[in-house]
Structure 1
Amino acid sequence: MDGHQYLYRRNPDVLLEWGEGGGPVLVDCRRWRKFSAKPALVGLLHQLDRPQTADELHGRWGGADHADEVHKILERLAAAGIVHRSAPDGDGRADGGGETENGPGGDGWTPYELAVHAQAGRGPVPHARRGTPPPARFHHPEAGDAIALPDGDDVPSRPLARVLAERRSVRAFAPAPVPLPLIGAFLDRTARVRGHFPPRAYEQTQRPAPSGGGRHSLEVYLLAREVAGLAPGAYHYDPFQHTLHRLCPWTDGLAALQQRTVTDLALMDSPPPAGLYLASCTGRTSWKYEGMALSLIYRDTGCLMQTMSLAATDLGLASCLVGMMETPLTAPFLAPYRDRLIHVGSMALGLPTDPLAAPAVEPLGG
C-alpha cells in the first residue's frame, strides 16, 4: 500500500501541558511518556481532529513544504505513539476507532482519568511533606450551638456476618424522625477519632475507617431535616469531641441541596429525614501524598462509605449511598471554604418502613 494512503489522527490519550521552562509538553497518559513539543507540532496535532492522509493534512497545515515531508513527520509521530495510524476501509476512510497499529482504543477511559491513574501509580512527588502538616481537626469558627452526642456503647450490636448479609441500599423511609441517639451511635462507630499516631506533629489520627497515611481528610456534615431532639439544619461533626456544631437552620437552599445531591440521583420519591454531605479537606492528604492525593481521597471515601453503610445496617437504620460529586462545591454552609474542601459523596439516612422487610434478591444460577 502507498504510505500516503494511511490515515492518521492524534492519539486521544495525549494531553497538552506546560513544562517548567514554559514550553508545551505532550503527555501520553496511557503509557505515561512526555515529549517536548515545538509550537508547529502543536499546530499539526490541532489539525488532526479526524483521520486523514498525509496529502490531506498537507493541504490544511502550513508547517511543511511537501506532502512527503508531512508523511515522514506523521510516521515519526506514529512510532512515538503521539498519533495513531490506520489503513483506509473500503471507502478510503477510517472510522478513527477500534484497533490501530498502535493498539486498541475506545475502552471508556478519558485521558484525564488515565492521567490521574498513571500519576497515582508513580507515588507522591519527591518534594511532598513540605512545611507544617495541616491540622487533623477542621474548625468552623462561625458555628453556633454545640450539641454533645451520646456514645454508641448503649446501643447493642449484631454479629458482623449477619450485618454483611443484611446490608441493603434503601430508598424509602418511614415517616418518622431519626432518634438522635442513633445518629450519635452511628457517628461514634464510623468517624470518631480514637487517638493519635506518633509523631503527634504529623497530625495522624486513628478512626474506625482506614485512610491513607492516617491523614483522614474527610469531614462529615449532617443535613438534619427530621432528627428527634435536633433543630432542623446543617451541622458539622467534630470527631474529636463527638459533638455536632450547628452551621445554619433548615432553609430552602438546604432542601434544594438535598434534592439535587441525594433525592433526585437516588430516584427517591421523597427526601430522607437525614443525610450526610461528605467533603475532603484535601490539604491533609496532599501534604504527604502530593501527586497521588486525589486517588487516595477517593479510596478513603469508599472505605468510609462502606463503614457507614455497615454501621447503619447494624443500628437498624435505612441508608443509601450516593457517589455523585459537586464541582464546584455548592453547599451554602461551606461557602467560606470552597477553596479548601471538595465534595466527595453523600448518604441518605432514615428509619426503615418495615424493619422485617428486605428487598427481593434473585438467587444465583437457574
Structure 2
Amino acid sequence: MTDIVPIPGGAGREFMERTKYRYLGRSDQENGLPQPPLELPADPALPVIDLVPPEKIRVPPLDLRTAIERRHSVRSYERETLSLEELSYLLWCTQGVTHVHGTQATFRTVPSAGARHAFETYVLANDVEGLEPGLYRYLALSHRLSRGKADPALHAAVSHACFDQTFVMRCNAVFLWTAVPYRMTWRYGERGYRDLHLDAGHVCQNLYLAAEAVGCGVCAIAAFDDDAMAGILGIDGTNQFLIYLATVGKCGEDRT
C-alpha cells in the first residue's frame, strides 16, 4: 500500500484521494471472508404483500427515445391514485431481479459494480391503491413488499427531513434507496463507496424513464438530513444509510 500523505482541502477531496487504487489493501473477499447476504432478511413479524409479477404487468408501450426526451424533474402532481400494478412496475424497473446466481450474485434491471447490488428500496406510500399510508420495504428477490411503519403522518416527517420540500407530501409515493456498504466493500474495499454513488444514479434514472410509461413524474432528492432519515427508516446510518430518494406522482400535461 502506498504511504498516505496529508491532503490539502476538504472532506470531498480527501475522499477522492483516499479511495484511489494505490491506497487500497486486500479486500475481505480476497482474504476469504464470507460475503454478506444478497438482501436483508424480512422481519417475520411483519406482513408481506404480493406485487403483480413482472411477467403479468401491463403498461402502455412507450418509445425509449420519447421517454428520454420527455424526462425531467416534476414537482407538481395530480390527485390521482397510483395503482399497485404501476408501483410493481416501477419497483421492478429500478431493482427487479432478472436472475439469481446461487448465493453469490443477483442480476437486475440496473447495472451495479460487480453485480453487488448493495441497495435496499423503501417506499413511502402516500396514495397507492391497496396500500395503507406508511412505509414499506421492497423484497427484490421475491418481488414483494414488507410492511413497515403504518403512519399516515409519516410523509410530513420525511418532508421535514428533506428540509421542508413540501412536494414530498403531495406525491403518490417516495422511493428511498439505502446502501448496505459492506455488500460492496466486501469486494472492492473503500473504493466501493464510490461505486455506491454511481449505482444510485443508474437506479434513479431508470425510475425517471419508467415513470413516463405510467403517466408519472419524478423528482430526485439529494438534500436530506442523514440522521433524521436514518431515524425514520429505523437504520443505524453507518452499516446502512440513505443514499438517495425520489418522489413519484401522477401528472397531467402541465409537467412542471
Corresponding letter in the other structure for 1:206: F
Match of 1:318 among 184, 203, 217: 217
Conserved 8 A contact 2:71-2:212: yes
Say if 2:58 is the partner of 1:154. yes
**Alignment map for 1:294-309 (pairs within 5 Å):** 294-309=193-208
Number of residue pairs matched?
249
Runs (5+) with no aligned partner, structure 1 = 1-24, 31-109, 360-366
1:57 aligns with none
Partner in structure 1 of residue 26 of structure 2: 127
TM (norm. structure 2) is 0.87
- Partners of 1:244 and 1:304 in 2: CA distance: 18
- CA RMSD across the alignment: 2.4
Q: Deviations over 1:314-362 (max 9, x none)?
A: 222121110125433634453255442111111111110x2x3345xxx
Gaps of 5+ in 2: none
1:191-210 aligned at under 5 Å gives the runs 191-197=95-101, 200-201=102-103, 203-210=104-111
2:164 equivalent in structure 1: 264
Structure with greater Cα Rg:
1
1:117: which partner in 2?
Answer: 16
Mapped to 2, the partners of 1:114 and 1:170 lie a distance apart of 32
Alignment of 1:175-254 (within 5 A): 175-197=79-101, 200-201=102-103, 203-252=104-153, 254=154
d(CA) in 1 for partners of 2:66, 2:23: 39
Determine the structure 1 residue equivalent to 2:155.
255
Q: Distance in 2 between matches of 1:181 and 1:337?
A: 32
Distance 1:233 1:268, change over 3 A: closer
Offset at 1:262? 4.6
Q: 1:263 to 1:275 in 2, by over 3 A?
A: farther
Shift of 1:123: 6.3
Shift of 1:161: 0.4
Q: What is the alpha-carbon distance in structure 2 between the residues aligned to residue 302 and residue 275 of structure 1?
A: 16
Once the two structures are superposed, what CA deviation does each residue of 1:246-287 show, in whole Å capped at 9, x if it has no partner? Answer: 0120154x233321245834x639532211111001110010
The percentage of counterpart residues that share the same residue type is: 22
Asked if structure 2 preserves the Cα contact closer than 8 Å seen for 1:280 and 1:342, the reply is yes
TM-superposed deviation, 1:172: 0.8
Answer whether contact 1:124 1:290 (CA < 8 A) is retained: no
Map 1:33-72 to 2 at 5 A. Answer: none
Tell me the CA shift for residue 168 of structure 1.
1.7
Distance 1:225 1:123, change over 3 A: farther
Contact 2:62/2:213 (<8 A) preserved: yes
Please say if 1:144 is aligned against 2:41: no
User: Partner letter of residue 117 of structure 1?
Assistant: M
Of 233, 236, 241, the match for 1:342? 241
Query: What amino acid sits opposite 2:240 in the alignment?
Result: L
Contact persistence 2:68–2:209 (CA under 8 A): yes
Q: 1 or 2 for the larger relative contact order (CA 8 Å, sep ≥6)?
A: 2
**Aligned counterparts of 2:52 and 2:163: Cα–Cα separation in 1:** 28
Work out the CA distance in 1 between the residues paired with 2:169 and 2:50. Answer: 29
TM-score (norm. length: structure 1): 0.62
